[in-house]
Structure 1
Amino acid sequence: MAEHLADLSVRGLDLVDPSALSQDAKALMTEECEKIAPFDEKKLEEILDLYIRTGIPVHSPGYMGRQFSGVVPLGGVVEFVSSVLNQPSSFYEAGQLPNVAERLMADELNRFIGWEPGRFAMVTTSGGSLANLTAMLAARNQKFPRFWPDGAAGLEGGARPAIAVSDDVHYSVSRAAGVMGIGEAQIVRLPLNGRRQISIEGARAALAAAERANLRVFCLVASAGTTSVGAFDPIGALADLARERDIWLHVDGAHGASLLVSDRFRHKLRGIEKADSLTWDAHKMTFVPAPCTLLFYRDREASGGAFRQRASYVFDEKPDIYTELDSGDRNFECTKRPMIMSLWVLWAMYGRALFAEKVEYLCALTQQAYHLLHAEPDFETVHRPEANILCFRYRPHGVAEEDVHALQVAIRNRVKLRGRFFISKVNVDGVAALRVVMMNHEITVDHFRMLLEEIRGVGRTLHGTHWNPRRNGGCS
């Protein structure tokens, strides 16, 4: 691992044929069936080497593809200790320090959210998808109190439960709606403005139309850093609109909530103190091992509304000073990793500045990359980055409009297979764009220049006589 972390060469994903990897992995498995096989240090070394070689090198300057990050190594050491101790943290008696650490980190981070001390709550969940689902359940059960015990049969007045979301909302929100029994027809899509944020005027009209269609919108989901382009919705204005209509406002800040720790970028979440709940993935821009997600509630009482049941084998009949710190009644998981420990230890050791400086560097680097693209006549940007996500296209002279989509897809695939850089792609207004996510502080603007040269070289080859997007679907 030390050698792996010290390797700062530019490299992307070494994609291996699954059948070949399966053979390599199977060859490392013992054939002993009757007794415990003796420990083989050489075999363990080979297994770990295979694991490292076939993983995405998130610490390399060539990795710019996804929102999971290279971790602060000390966080990985803490994860090792947590794995060996194996303390599930949904209940205080099973994980004493993790439960205390959750309270401490909640208070530390709430300084940047701004809710009333002692009135808010925070629980950890295994990923932003589960946090979004949990918050939406709390919202539904608050607005429809009979839904939990009676299901849809408990609805009164004939209005159908609905949620309102942005056109760029993360797919986990729509998935959560399906899990909750809310059909696609009851998801109200809110239009975007030119910056790919929820349009307040459009949202107001869409909510009014939903009401006329006998839909009862109980939750509006805003984004603080959309997955597609990293846009931040106008949280304060949406909170005012939600309050007018008695709607719960949940902010999916899985990616962008970490900007709160930065004095320079906290304004991106202006109005967050008015929200009802907030998802915050620490394993993204606070650089700890995944999963480590924090789900905040403005009202502590509301945090207990997502799940409503009792189980005598885990829930005590008479609360005391110990069970007061239990979170098992407020999160879906019973056995939950003590994921807060890696974040708390880093915060305890280094303080806020470790995270703020890294966030600020990556956001500034993304702005540099954006301005660099403007000087390149064969590239176009599709948005102005608000944080560390940047989407653009390779658009040399002579590419037909109908071929632009396929060309971006083909470039991304070819770059990935070459193994020097790892980037992603996303459709913006129905047309593919190349997408970089700056998650590694080892990346410099020179590395981005190298990426552009790689894209340009691949694009020129594809744009030549050997590439026909209508023949091969752009996957050459």
Structure 2
Amino acid sequence: MTSSLSDVQSSFPEPTTGEDLWHSASGLTAAFDPGRFHEGALDIVDRLTAYLGDRSVRGLDLIDPEVLLKAARGLMTPERQRVADFDADRVKQIVDLYTETGIPVHSPGYMGRQFSGVVPLAGLIDLVGSVVNQPSSFYEAGQLPNVAERLMAEELNRFIGWDRDRFAMVTTSGGSLANLTALLAARNHAFPQIWTRGAGGAPGLPAIAISEEAHYSVTRAAGVLGIGEGQIIRLPVDQAGRIRPDLAGSVLDEAKRRGLRPFCLVASAGTTSLGAFDPLEDLAALARRHGLWLHVDGAHGASLLLSEQHRDKLRGIELADSLTWDAHKMLFMPAPCTLLFYRDRTAARGAFQQRASYVFDEEPDIYSAYDSADKNFECTKRPMIMPLWTVWSVYGPALFEQKIDRLCEVTRQAHRMIAAEPDFAVAHEPESNILCFRYLPDGMEPAAAHRLQLEIRNRIRGGGRFFISKVDIQGTAALRVVVMNHLIDADHLAMLIAEIRDIGQRVLRASATARHDQRNGSQS
């Protein structure tokens, strides 16, 4: 017998009015109370305003994980049986612990990584996105985010130069995912049968050609695609870390003789180690001769397209087939926010080739035309475009250009200052905002130089005033600064140089004393 709606409704259990149930219901309601949110938000914004206003020179305060674990555990409510009462003081302590233990990305002492302090407005819009919670892979779930994604694609393509009626852009959660997605599209373009039949019937072993300086996410993507180390063709680079097109052709020919079938050449626009820009025009010509898809990993350096002074470093970008561009690096957005561009939108749809009735519409319409789930991994995707589109809408592109120009100029100034010091050696001439160098007093042996740079970097980090990174260049460690803060000036650079020298001298003296004591001990 079929039940009516009234029968179903009448079968619901009667509500009880016991005290425990009242506390449970009131606790649930209170957790979602708009007034309480308002009060809490104001207090958090006050704390973040003070955080942003702190212009002191400070680096990373690296805490023993066990100490931090104990402190964080102490902030967790012991209540397990009912919804705990809201504790404003507990929230304040959590926010303070969060800000105090993070890398101070807004401080002039932060010169270590490629993620940046965000434009404050972007942080506020990120808060809006978290509250309204509109996953943006489908238009019906996030209408404005999907429109904003289309608008930002149009705006940024003005700097890339592709046919406005043919290109496509999707947002992804990070450059690693964007590189993997682009390689999927390239592989499926070259091997159309591989999605349904697998790689077994493919003519030749699918291979990709990459720079020796390529980001590890590219080799990781190759592994995910089932392309082993032996099928990764590594192209030689010059002293500055740029692919040498004059040598790459013969390397590709040799790979083909070994039975490999390369389908994609990955170039870099701003390598992680040195910030080097591969010669895109020459590599595009090379890719055409060998029938390869040209993907440009511009996660760091693609933003230089917005600068009149620096966009020439990406000359030839319009010849690429796809481009990874991180907005959470030099567009100063909250992470992650990555833009993946395709010159041909039909290729974008080739990365994934399946249907699912619960999300994909059988009959496309004006709404589904804005969906992006068929072009990216994520079904539920944060509306990461909203901070970028809002900041662009409010301030315009000049904000980004001015900050990019400032960062590159400060990096060139750092290069000049360090090159002028007799006990320092720069490793390259910076092409963007990344500079690598070494502290090298006279007579330093290569093996000792490697250990010295590592010790200096660790002590700088432990000192808590500056935060810099390190990278191995031709087997020897180098100190690395990434200028992401427009407040950094010559005084801050001089302070860093002096601190490196002071630490280096103390390390060398301690090492000499240890060797002296060791010799005396062995003699006695």
Q: CA deviation at 1:469?
A: 10
Cα deviation 1:338-393 (Å, max 9, x = unaligned): 00000000000000000000000000110011011111000000110000000000
Equivalent in the alignment of 1:163: 208
Q: CA deviation at 1:414?
A: 0.6
Equivalent in the alignment of 1:424: 469
**Which secondary structure state, in structure 1, belongs to the residue aligned with residue 109 of structure 2?**
coil
**Which secondary structure state, in structure 2, belongs to the residue aligned with residue 463 of structure 1?**
helix
Aligned letter for 2:269? Answer: A
Contact map agreement 1:399 1:463 (CA 8 A) in 2? no
Alignment match of 2:84 (pick from 19, 37, 40): 37
Segment drifting more, 79-88 vs 393-402: 393-402
Cα deviation 1:237-271 (Å, max 9, x = unaligned): 10111011110000000000000011111100000
Cα distance 1:193–1:81, how it changes in 2: closer, same or farther (>3 A)? same
Report how many residues are paired: 469
Equivalent in the alignment of 1:474: none
Equivalent in the alignment of 1:309: 354
Alignment match of 1:234 (pick from 279, 286, 292): 279
Aligned: 1:291 with 2:336: yes
- The separation in 1 between residues aligned to 2:487 and 2:514, in whole angstroms, is 36
Equivalent in the alignment of 2:103: 56
Equivalent in the alignment of 1:4: 51
Q: CA deviation at 1:399?
A: 2.2
- The separation in 2 between residues aligned to 1:468 and 1:15, in whole angstroms, is 28
Aligned: 1:377 with 2:430: no
Contact map agreement 2:415 2:429 (CA 8 A) in 1? yes
Cα deviation 1:320-352 (Å, max 9, x = unaligned): 000000000000000000000000000000000
Equivalent in the alignment of 2:246: 201
- The separation in 1 between residues aligned to 2:167 and 2:511, in whole angstroms, is 61
Contact map agreement 1:406 1:469 (CA 8 A) in 2? no
Equivalent in the alignment of 1:136: 183
* TM-score calculated relative to the size of structure 2: 0.88
Aligned letter for 1:378? Answer: D
* TM-score calculated relative to the size of structure 1: 0.97
- The separation in 2 between residues aligned to 1:16 and 1:467, in whole angstroms, is 30
Residue segments in structure 2 that go unaligned for 5+ positions in a row:
1-47, 516-524
**Which secondary structure state, in structure 1, belongs to the residue aligned with residue 169 of structure 2?**
strand
Equivalent in the alignment of 2:154: 107
Alignment match of 1:127 (pick from 153, 174, 178): 174
Equivalent in the alignment of 2:256: 211
- The separation in 2 between residues aligned to 1:85 and 1:468, in whole angstroms, is 62
Aligned: 1:360 with 2:405: yes
Q: CA deviation at 1:467?
A: 6.1
- The separation in 2 between residues aligned to 1:425 and 1:401, in whole angstroms, is 16
- The separation in 2 between residues aligned to 1:232 and 1:275, in whole angstroms, is 14
**Which secondary structure state, in structure 2, belongs to the residue aligned with residue 464 of structure 1?**
helix
Contact map agreement 1:405 1:433 (CA 8 A) in 2? yes
Contact map agreement 1:88 1:338 (CA 8 A) in 2? yes
- The separation in 1 between residues aligned to 2:490 and 2:374, in whole angstroms, is 47
Equivalent in the alignment of 2:497: 452
Q: How does 1:319-330 map to 2 (within 5 A)?
A: 319-330=364-375
> Cα RMSD over matched residues?
1.2
Residue segments in structure 1 that go unaligned for 5+ positions in a row:
471-476
Alignment match of 1:68 (pick from 115, 119, 143): 115
Q: CA deviation at 1:64?
A: 0.1
Q: CA deviation at 1:400?
A: 2.1
- Larger relative helix fraction: 2
Aligned: 1:177 with 2:222: yes
Contact map agreement 2:188 2:351 (CA 8 A) in 1? yes
**Bigger CA radius of gyration:** 2
Equivalent in the alignment of 1:152: 199
Cα deviation 1:400-446 (Å, max 9, x = unaligned): 22211010001000110011100000000010000000001111121
Equivalent in the alignment of 1:473: none
Q: CA deviation at 1:235?
A: 0.5
- The separation in 2 between residues aligned to 1:423 and 1:202, in whole angstroms, is 34
